[in-house]
Amino acid sequence: MQKPLDIEFEKAMRLLAEHFPVSEIGSRKPVLFHDIRVGVYLYEKNHSRDIVLAGVLHDALEFSDMSEETIRSEFGEDILKMVKACSKDRSIEDPDERIEELVRRSAQNGKDTLIVKAADTLDSFKHYTKTKNLPELEYCRKNAKAIFKHTPEGAEEDVFGELREWYGREAEGK
């Protein structure tokens, strides 16, 4: 019997809370809260179990001490692959090349992974707009542009349209 998504979502949140460092005043953004928002967004848009859980866990390898084995054993190989595809390759020094490589890798892993990356970027746009963090908004624009470049033709998921709206709004300085 498959566990209800609500139970798995909560399990993912408990693991993140256990493994994430506490965000401090002045940090770019509270990552745990960001991951919750991304997961809730995907959940409310009725995405699949794998997309929702990968959305919740997308920063786990990058910003916490959670291991690949923990993700694999708790949520499966497919979600681990999605999380890995959404994690930056810190060995790439040029930030623009790093963005392009991450988004290309996300797209190569499949449209579901690109949906997670788009939801991640959309939430970051919203957060950095609210906090008026101009350098991070520029980073969001670069991510969005790479996502649009790699979005499969005919992809009609809401997240791609919403990301285009935020990208356009930010490009116009609104």
| pLDDT at position 1 over 60 | no
pLDDT for the residue numbered 90: 93
Q: State if pTM tops 0.75.
A: yes
pLDDT for the residue numbered 67: 96
Specify whether the CB–CB gap between 50 and 3 falls below 8 A.
no
pLDDT in tens, 64-95: 999 999 999 999 999 999 999 999 999 999 99
The CATH number assigned to the domain holding 65 equals 1.10.3210.10
Phi, psi of 107 (to 5 degrees): -65, -40
Q: Which domain holds residue 143?
A: 5-171
The span from the CA of 157 to the CA of 47, in Å, is 10
Q: Of 129, 126, 115, whose CA–CA distance to 161 is shortest?
A: 115
Q: How many domains does the chain have?
A: 1
Give Cα separations from 50 to 55, 79, 83, 126, 152 (angstroms).
Answer: 8, 6, 10, 24, 19
Amino acid at 32: L
